[in-house]
Structure formats: structure tokens, C-alpha cells
């Protein structure tokens, strides 16, 4: 950040009085420009019929990670709830109609200043199609998940937790709520196959 969004004067990095970390502070109007983590919201859309469960994944048409598979997710907008953001992102990226379930995972990705949250979701029909940010949208059984071509560690972790909970459900348990800190970075040399 170079200029104040309030008065357009230059800003400098300093620790404001009563604070404990560097912030961009305007040299003219003294506005403190706080920078906070971004919220990424998404869903785990599933279709289950005759004992067979499949998860809807989107193949990314945008960077980062163009050509890799992801759950439908994206940045939360102002004036929407986390649930509304998850539904909107699922509609935008996969053209899918869902019934939103409970919050399933909350993943802190501190190194990129983000918090990722995924809701359980049930597909209401099979009328889905790629949105502008997706090259393809497909249903995958657990054995078909393209694990080596998943876009982000948060997607990998969420799907692992989801399928682990599916085992618990078969044994009489239920879905849990999962929270983790994601510290591993994506490998920059990964190429989709």
C-alpha cells in the first residue's frame, strides 16, 4: 500500500500508539489501514443414490492453480453470511443447486492470510455446468478423486476429513466439525496431467 484510500496522501508502515504490530498509517490524516485475513467459503456438494455417494468438483479455469480440481469455493463478499457465500460460490462455479448443511471444516491458512470454511451440501438435482471460473464440473466417487491434481491443501484436507467421517457414519457415527492449521505450501512445480 502506497497511498491512503481516505485522502490519497502517502502512507508509511509504523506501529500506531496502543497497537502491537506495523500498520499502514496515513502521514496526512492519520487513518490507520488495517489489513485482515480474507474468508474463503465453499461447499462439499454430494449426490447419494442407491448407497453410492459422489462429490462434485470443479476444474479451475483461472489462476492460481489453473487446470486443477477444487471444491466450489471463493472469497466471501460484503453483506452476505458465510452460508450465503458458500451457496453463491457453488452456483457461480458449478451451476449447482444445493441444500446447505452444517459447517464441516474451518482451516486457517495464516501464511496467505486466509481462513477457509466448507459446508456440507446436498445436490438437489444433477443440473450443473461449469461457470466462468471452471473448465469442467464432475461427480467423483471416493476412488475416483484426482488426489494428485487437487488445487489446494485445504481441498485435500477437507476431502480427507469428509471421507474419514463417511467411514464413521457407516459405523453409526456422524459428521464432525473439523478445524486445522494448514502450514504446508503448494509445490510450485506441480503441473496438471
Same domain? For 59 and 13 the reply is: no
Same domain? For 27 and 42 the reply is: no
CATH code of the domain containing 24 = 2.20.70.10
Q: Is the pLDDT of residue 151 over 70?
A: yes
Same domain? For 44 and 69 the reply is: yes
Q: Of 114, 190, 121, 124, which Cα lies nearest the Cα of 154?
A: 114
d(CA 92, CA 89): 5
Read off the pTM.
0.89
Same domain? For 1 and 61 the reply is: no
pLDDT on residue 184: 81
In a domain, 192, yes or no: no
In a domain, 177, yes or no: yes
With cut-offs at 50, 70 and 90, classify the pLDDT of residue 187.
low
Same domain? For 53 and 80 the reply is: yes
In a domain, 144, yes or no: yes
Q: Of 154, 148, 157, which Cα lies nearest the Cα of 193?
A: 148
pLDDT digits (tens, 9 = 90+) for 5-41: 999 999 999 999 999 999 999 999 999 999 899 999 9
Domain that holds residue 168: 38-181
Domain count, the chain: 2
d(CA 85, CA 87): 5
Instruction: For residue 182, count other CB atoms closer than 10 A to its CB.
Output: 18
Amino acid at each position: 500500500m502506497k497511498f491512503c484510500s481516505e485522502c490519497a496522501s502517502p502512507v508509511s508502515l509504523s506501529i500506531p500508539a496502543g497497537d502491537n504490530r506495523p500498520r499502514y498509517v496515513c502521514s496526512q490524516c492519520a487513518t490507520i489501514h488495517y489489513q485482515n485475513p480474507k474468508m474463503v467459503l465453499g461447499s462439499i456438494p454430494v449426490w447419494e443414490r442407491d448407497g453410492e455417494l459422489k462429490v462434485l468438483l470443479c476444474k479451475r479455469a483461472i489462476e492460481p492453480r489453473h487446470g486443477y480440481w477444487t471444491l466450489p469455493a471463493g472469497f466471501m463478499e460484503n453483506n452476505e453470511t458465510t452460508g450465503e457465500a458458500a451457496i453463491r460460490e457453488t452456483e457461480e462455479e458449478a451451476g449447482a443447486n444445493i441444500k446447505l448443511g452444517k459447517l464441516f471444516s474451518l482451516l486457517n491458512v495464516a501464511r496467505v492470510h486466509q481462513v477457509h470454511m466448507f459446508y456440507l451440501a446436498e445436490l438437489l438435482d444433477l443440473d450443473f455446468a461449469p461457470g466462468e471460473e471452471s473448465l469442467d464440473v464432475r461427480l467423483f466417487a471416493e476412488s475416483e478423486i484426482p488426489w494428485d491434481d487437487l488445487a489446494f491443501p485445504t481441498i485435500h484436507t477437507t476431502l480427507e476429513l469428509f471421507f474419514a467421517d463417511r467411514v464413521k457414519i457407516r459405523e453409526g457415527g456422524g459428521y464432525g466439525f473439523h478445524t486445522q492449521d494448514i502450514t504446508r505450501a503448494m509445490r510450485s512445480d506441480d503441473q496438471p496431467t
